[in-house]
């Protein structure tokens, strides 16, 4: 069930976490997700290309920040189209049952996948669940001591008492709670809504409880922007690779513009135009088909 907030302030701010508040995207994907993809999906023979594909999808393209199961399928799809992979005779298989489950399920997390595996006894879904659990175990053992970007805490403090704040993320709830608590910023947000609470679009339906131009999403990926647009939210981008300056600008001018109802229009559009230039749609390598 999607978490429903009871408004206490005039304004609502949704905040993505990985890569937006915390500089964890590179660490999580390069050290936790990708080694497990290579291991569980037998990509050792094309590991170089598998790493490039997964990094492109999760970090360096307009797919940045999408749910792990969507990202797994997209990375495998890019591998299928890579000439070097084809020439090596590598067999890249994307289970149809996984694609079907992703298309039908909105709460794309381990609990929903566990339920589907129990219901279907599908071996490909069971294998994907093993991969996903292995990722979580690796993240739990690897990711620690990664502080929020500079200016994040100041921004949360500045918004406190003026806006209800929600963590809106595709990361598992337990990991989010651990990170926000570890760095003593959990106190600023009303609720943490990770993948088990529904997707970002669903969580942001809470914006309907606020007046026009008084709900804002902060994110570092196009998917965050799409979720905001679907719910008539304003959007403040944290530009990938320039996160420190993005947060500083939000503290220096963005928050004031938002609270004074001066954010929509030219200011919002200038931010979006800049954000769009940061991430490409297609990889730099050639593709087949």
Cα(193)–Cα(239) distance, integer angstroms: 22
Domain containing residue 268: 11-24+149-276
Asked whether the beta carbons of 189 and 166 are under 8 A apart, the reply is yes
Q: What is the CATH number of the domain that holds 233?
A: 3.40.50.1000
Percent of the chain whose pLDDT exceeds 70:
99
What's the per-residue H, E or C state across 167-198?
Answer: EECCCCHHHHHHHHHHCCCHHHCCEEECHHHC
Give the three-state DSSP class for 165: strand
The last residue of one of the domains, among 97, 112, 142, is 142
Residue 122 lies in a domain: yes
pLDDT of 228 higher than 90: yes
Q: pLDDT tens digits, residue range 78-125? A: 999 999 999 999 999 999 999 999 999 988 899 999 999 999 999 999
Query: Quick one: residue 146, left, alpha or beta (phi over 0 = left, psi -120 to 50 = alpha)?
Result: beta
pLDDT of residue 119: 97
Q: What is the pLDDT of residues 202-219, one digit of tens each?
A: 999 999 999 999 999 999
Asked whether residue 37 falls in the same domain as residue 138, the answer is: yes
Q: Per-residue pLDDT tens for 241-254?
A: 999 999 999 999 99
pLDDT exceeds cutoff 70 at 1: no
Same domain, 218 and 200: yes
Of 121, 142, 163, which residue is a domain's last?
A: 142
Residue where a domain stops, chosen among 142, 172, 197? 142
Residue 217, classed as helix, strand or coil, is strand
pTM score, whole prediction: 0.85
Confidence check: pLDDT of 258 > 90: yes
């Amino acid at each position: 069930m999607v978490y429903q907030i009871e408004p206490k302030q005039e304004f609502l701010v949704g905040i993505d976490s990985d890569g937006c508040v915390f500089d964890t995207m590179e660490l999580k994907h390069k050290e936790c997700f990708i080694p497990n993809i290579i291991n569980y999906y037998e990509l050792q023979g094309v590991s170089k290309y598998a790493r490039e594909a997964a990094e492109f999808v999760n970090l360096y393209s307009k797919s940045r920040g999408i749910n792990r199961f969507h990202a797994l399928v997209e990375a495998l799809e890019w591998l299928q189209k890579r000439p070097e992979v084809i020439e090596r005779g590598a067999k890249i298989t994307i289970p149809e049952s996984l694609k079907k489950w992703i298309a039908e399920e909105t709460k794309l997390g381990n609990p929903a996948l566990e339920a589907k595996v129990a219901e279907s006894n599908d071996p490909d879904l069971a294998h994907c669940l093993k991969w996903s659990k292995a990722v979580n175990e690796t993240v739990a053992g690897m990711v620690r001591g990664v502080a929020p970007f500079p200016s994040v805490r100041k921004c949360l403090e500045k918004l406190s008492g003026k806006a209800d704040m929600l963590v809106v993320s595709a990361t598992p709830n337990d990991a989010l709670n651990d990170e926000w608590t570890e760095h003593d910023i959990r106190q600023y947000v009303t609720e943490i809504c990770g993948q088990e609470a529904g997707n970002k679009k669903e969580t942001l339906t809470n914006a309907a409880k606020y007046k026009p131009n008084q709900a804002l999403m902060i994110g570092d990926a196009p998917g965050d922007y799409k979720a905001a647009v679907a719910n008539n939210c304003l959007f403040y981008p944290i530009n990938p690779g320039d996160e420190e300056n993005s947060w500083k600008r939000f503290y220096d001018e963005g928050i004031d513009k938002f609270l004074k109802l001066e954010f929509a229009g030219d200011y919002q559009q200038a931010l979006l135009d800049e954000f769009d230039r940061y991430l490409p749609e297609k990889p730099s390598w050639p593709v087949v088909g």
